[in-house]
Structure 1
Amino acid sequence: MTSESILLIGRGTRNAHEVLETHAERLRRRAIADAVEVATYESEPIRELRGRFERLSADDVYAVPMCTAHTHETINDIPSALSSVPGDVHYCEPLGQSPAVTEVIEERGTNLIPPSDDVSLILVGFGSSSKPYHRQTIDYHAARLREQSAYGEVLTCYLIQNPTVECVRYNTTRTRSVAVPLFLARSEATERRIPDELELVRGGIEYADPYGGHARITDAVHAEVEKQRALALDDSSPTASFEGQLTRTRRPVATDGEGVSR
């Protein structure tokens, strides 16, 4: 009988391991796989995770990058590290564009300021200077919230691309604002950089918590695993998703100090 494992992978920021374990425990209770494991890394996924991945014993491993959107690490380093997994790897999309995530964002804002026409909702992302994934993801949630919520306006901003976090205070047109960081766990960015650039000490902007261990995030992970499971069983589905291509083509190389020359 084929064994299955779910592998939650994330950067080891402030409370990341605790958050991932919260989601892992829920998934274990749902019994949707034989095992659910957590793997975190500090800065070098290939070096830090390879040994752990080599010890995985499941025939099929559903690897979920626990972040808002694809990054350099999820496109390059993590797929390279996953090449060490002995079984078949089904590489999942990040949390990204899940309707469940939209619900969490709205709830985080509502807990601080109930939606009304005189309130601005600010979505704060990390952003990227070269890749579109963060902007696409945050724009997706912003569009849904403009349509389904009662906020007077929904604005987006980023730490490392325009529109920037430091300027968003001056772009709001409502009398009150609430900012929600689109991050899974607490980090230096959510604890210091974003509050500083929002100038929270000046008042006028309430600041919400990251997604954390919210149950709807677990639902988003569950749904992604089920989607990948269905694709794996469907002979008529495309033979290579973007994530599938990554795990087939990325390997550690000699220049990483972790692989062999190609």
Structure 2
Amino acid sequence: MHAERLRRRSVVDTVAVATYESEPIRELRAQFERIAADAVYAVPMCTAHTHETIRDIPAALSYVAGDVRYCEPLGQSPAVTEAIEERGAALARPSDDVSLILVGFGSSSKPYHRQTVDYHAARLREQSEYGEVLTCYLLQNPTVECVRYNTTKTRSVAVPVFLARSEATERRIPDELELARGGIEYADPYGAHGRITDAVHAEVEKQRALARNDASPTASFEGRLTETHRPVATDGEGGQR
């Protein structure tokens, strides 16, 4: 859906979708080798950096022949804040007696998911009319299973800060929120929401502007990832392009 919208906008000459199941380097290599373009903007369609977006995907992008501009994940975009607010408002109109709960994945070793959820929570506390905005996580404190007891308002709506449906959004989070007890409405991930397309578009335009200003592709964190991560022989995928 996002790719089709971007094609209609003529953001770039072509828009391709690359998906993998478990091994980005092995599964994406052939597709990346077929890309024939001088400049390629690679946007990871996820909320925040993971082990795969930091190591495996940058290594897979080394098989692209053109100049690769590796973009940030979509999480910390103002457009995503709006998508989250709209998901919540569809189930519980923002008011002083409603709590908004943002549910993130979290990580015990990397800060990226927590930073993303905290970013949106801070913005929503400032710009929305919810009585309170709380955060919780599957893998760290404050936990999803405890957030019900931390709310102080009469009604609550929980929005998973996830791009797409998964086992976590469909089973784990509902179970830990104890939705069957009532009192908490549960929204869908933002998925195909139009503001997510806007976030992709904005990230590509940002990278395009940096390129026009002669900013080195390695000037950003993501650019350094594509410069330093390469497939190695022990992966069975090493060797020269």
The TM-score bracket by the shorter chain reads over 0.9
In structure 1, what is the equivalent of residue 141 of structure 2? 162
Q: Structure 2 residue aligned with 1:111, among 65, 78, 90?
A: 90
Q: Write 1 or 2 for the structure with the bigger share of strand.
A: 1
Give the 3 Å change call, closer, same or farther, for CA 147–59 of structure 1 in structure 2: same
Cα deviations by residue, 1:40-86 (Å, 9 ceiling, x for unpaired)? 11111111111111111111110000000111110000000000111
Task: Give the aligned residue type for 1:41.
Answer: Y
Matched, 1:152 2:131: yes
| Among candidates 22, 29, 52, match of residue 43 of structure 1 | 22
Aligned partner of residue 42 in structure 2, secondary structure: strand
User: What's 2:178 paired with?
Assistant: 199
**Structure 2: where are the runs of 5+ without partners?**
none
Q: Deviations over 1:7-40 (max 9, x none)?
A: xxxxxxxxxxxxxxx0000000001111000011
Residues 148-185 of structure 1 show CA distances to partners (whole Å, capped at 9, x for unaligned) of 11101000011111111111111111111000001111
Counterpart in the other structure of 1:127: 106
Given the alignment of the two structures, is residue 209 of structure 1 paired with residue 188 of structure 2, yes or no? yes
RMSD of Structure 2 on Structure 1 (CA): 1.3
Give me the whole-angstrom Cα distance separating, in 1, the residues matched to 2:217 and 2:238: 30
d(CA) in 2 for partners of 1:107, 1:209: 11
Instruction: In structure 1, give the amino acid aligned to 2:47.
Output: T
Match for residue 59 of structure 2?
A: 80
- C-alpha displacement at 1:237, in angstroms? 6.9
Distance 1:250 1:238, change over 3 A: closer
Q: How does 1:17-28 map to 2 (within 5 A)?
A: 22-28=1-7
Q: Who is 2:117 aligned against?
A: 138
Structure 1 residues 85-125: Cα deviation after superposition (integer angstroms, max 9, x where no partner): 11110000000111110000000000000011111100011
The one-letter amino acid of 2:120's match is H
Q: In the alignment, is the contact (CA less than 8 A) between 2:217 and 2:224 conserved in 1?
A: no
Alpha-carbon distance in structure 2 between the residues aligned to 1:241 and 1:67: 18
Q: Aligned with 1:37: secondary structure?
A: coil
Distance 1:113 1:97 in 2: 24
Structure 2 residue 169 is the aligned partner of structure 1 residue 190 = yes
Q: What is the distance in 2 between the residues matched to 1:238 and 1:41?
A: 25
Distance (Å, rounded) in 1 between the aligned partners of 2:143 and 2:19: 29
| Of 233, 236, 241, the match for 1:257 | 236
CA distance in 1, matches of 2:151, 2:140: 18
Residue in structure 2 matched with residue 97 of structure 1 by the alignment: 76
* CA gap 1:109/1:260 in 2 versus in 1, 3 angstroms: same
- Could you say if the C-alpha distance between residues 74 and 156 of structure 1 is closer, same or farther in structure 2, counting changes exceeding 3 Å? same
Query: CA 1:238–1:81 in 2, change beyond 3 Å: closer, same or farther?
Result: closer
SS in 1 for 2:80: helix
Identity %: 85
CA distance in 2, matches of 1:232, 1:126: 33
Tell me the equivalent position of 1:29.
8
Query: 1:246 offset after TM fit, Å?
Result: 0.4
- Compute the displacement of 1:257 (Å): 2.7
Residue number in structure 2 paired with 1:10? none
Unaligned stretches of 5+ in structure 1?
Answer: 1-21
- AA of the residue aligned to 2:36: S
